Amino acid sequence: MVDYIVVGLGLAGISFCEQLEKNGKTFRVISDDSQTSSVVAGGMYNPVILKRFTLAWNAKDQLEKAMPFYNLLEEKLKIKVDTKVAVQRRFASIEEQNMWFEASDKPKLNSFLSTNIIKNINKAIDADFGYGEVLGTGRIDTEKLIVTYTNYLLSKEAFKKETFAFDDLKVEDDCVVYKELKARHIVFATGYGLKENPYFSYLPLNGTKGELLTIKAPNLKEENVIKSSVFIIPLSDNLYRIGATYKWKDKTNVPTQESKEELINKLKSFLNCDYEIVSHVAGIRPTVADRRPLVGTHPLHSRLHVLNGFGSRGVMIAPTASETLFNAIENDEPVDSEMDIARFTKKYFNK
Ligand SMILES: Cc1cc2nc3c(=O)[nH]c(=O)nc-3n(C[C@H](O)[C@H](O)[C@H](O)COP(=O)(O)OP(=O)(O)OC[C@H]3O[C@@H](n4cnc5c(N)ncnc54)[C@H](O)[C@@H]3O)c2cc1C
């Protein structure tokens, strides 16, 4: 008998496992490669929505939890995954510069938006109107984190690579039994894989496909993240990640020619140096109709829980949402009503 079974080891699964370790709970993790969102993610943390110059939902609180969370993980796993890097929003017009100044005057935003207009000095980029800089931003190397965390769990004999077989799950009043495993609770952190879950598939998870290119551009020589019609995210060795697309119909993790062309065309509109495409990846962001996470306990089965719906902001949301779920299960603390799955109970269970 263990305290928990965790299904799924993306950003949600890892952050929940960290809650369990911190609180001395025993657990086993089951995950497969059916979803790729956390592995392919750009990994950016940035509190500002750069289309509209507004603060993302609860961004300040999330960032305050996320930074120590990743830094403690770095210490524990003895790796570096957090790179502090400035995000520079390319302005397309004087109007946009003015909108930026207006936004940077607002009390909630002024600690995140620099009030200087940064002049472009990089000849490989067209940015006649300069940039506005977001403060406190950076990138988590999510792929490295997942690979290292999986190995860490393997070394503790706490991880099994397997597709969860729902037919083998028995749900009882005081525990769950899955094959040879018995646990007090089970947490599903399966990203878009939630759609296959007979207990939670009622939740309105839409899923938004995103694709990214990695390019090699020796003449680009850019150290900041540039946000224009697409992001340019500097990696190392003259490599840059370019993305991402947003598609709502296709729910596969397969990269498409159409999205590749879209990214190339958008890049062409402001990049004027040569590059070669090194890789092309795709994943489904677990997005929800009301743009809020899905956190909580099944309305009819008190041993079944869900941690999902991080949309395009998993890096920042995961540490807060996992702590909320843990405290709800173990300490009976309320889940913030905006992310509590109870907001859908009435509609689907008439309760
Ligand atoms: C192109 C792209 C770019 C992005 N860029 C950013 C970014 O810059 N910053 C940011 O914060 N977020 C970004 N995101 C969003 C971010 O990736 C997600 O919010 C986050 O990764 C979701 O994590 P998750 O753990 O909930 O889901 P996932 O990453 O999908 O993880 C779920 C895990 O569960 C496993 N699983 C599913 N079903 C089963 C099953 N039946 N049995 C066993 N295992 C199962 C999956 O294989 C997977 O390992 C991006 C997403 C995409 C697609």
What value, to the nearest 5°, has the Cα angle with vertex 198 and ends 301 and 294? 70
* Tens digit of each residue's pLDDT (9 = 90 or more) over 173-203: 999 999 999 999 999 999 999 999 999 999 9
Q: Is 29 a member of any domain?
A: yes
* Tens digit of each residue's pLDDT (9 = 90 or more) over 88-132: 999 999 999 999 999 999 999 989 999 889 999 999 999 999 999
DSSP state of 333: P
Task: Give yes or no: residues 280 and 296 share one domain.
Answer: no
Task: Give yes or no: residues 215 and 121 share one domain.
Answer: yes
Backbone angles phi, psi at 250, to 5 degrees: -75, 120
Task: Give yes or no: residues 124 and 148 share one domain.
Answer: no
pLDDT for position 348: 84
Task: Give yes or no: residues 248 and 303 share one domain.
Answer: no
- Does residue 47's CB lie within 6 angstroms of at least one atom of ligand 1? no
pLDDT for position 346: 86
- Does residue 43's CB lie within 6 angstroms of at least one atom of ligand 1? yes
Q: Is 259 a member of any domain?
A: yes
Q: To test the ligand 1 pocket, which listed residue (5, 11, 227) has its Cβ within 8 A of the most ligand atoms? A: 11
- Does residue 11's CB lie within 6 angstroms of at least one atom of ligand 1? yes
Q: Which atom of ligand 1 is nearest to the CA of 211?
A: 1
Domain holding 123, by residue range, is 86-136+208-285
Mean predicted confidence (pLDDT) in 71-81: 98
Percent of the chain with pLDDT over 90: 96
pLDDT bracket for residue 350 (50, 70, 90): confident
Residue bearing the CA closest to ligand 1, atom 31? 10
- Does residue 263's CB lie within 6 angstroms of at least one atom of ligand 1? no
Task: Give yes or no: residues 248 and 342 share one domain.
Answer: no
Task: Give yes or no: residues 147 and 266 share one domain.
Answer: no
- Does residue 66's CB lie within 6 angstroms of at least one atom of ligand 1? no
Task: Give yes or no: residues 149 and 281 share one domain.
Answer: no
Token pair recorded at residue 66 = 């996320």
Distance CA(260)–CA(277), nearest Å, equals 10
Q: Is 62 a member of any domain?
A: no
Task: Give yes or no: residues 115 and 171 share one domain.
Answer: no
Report how many domains make up the chain: 2
Task: Give yes or no: residues 114 and 147 share one domain.
Answer: no
Task: Give yes or no: residues 309 and 221 share one domain.
Answer: no
pLDDT for position 92: 94
Distance CA(219)–CA(20), nearest Å, equals 46
CATH of the domain at 193: 3.50.50.60
Task: Give yes or no: residues 184 and 228 share one domain.
Answer: no
Task: Give yes or no: residues 338 and 212 share one domain.
Answer: no
Q: Is 114 a member of any domain?
A: yes
Which is it for the CA torsion 335, 331, 182, 159, positive or negative?
Answer: positive
Q: Say if pTM beats, i.e. exceeds, 0.85.
A: yes
Residues 6+ apart with CB under 8 A from 133: 86, 87, 88, 89, 113, 114, 116, 118, 224
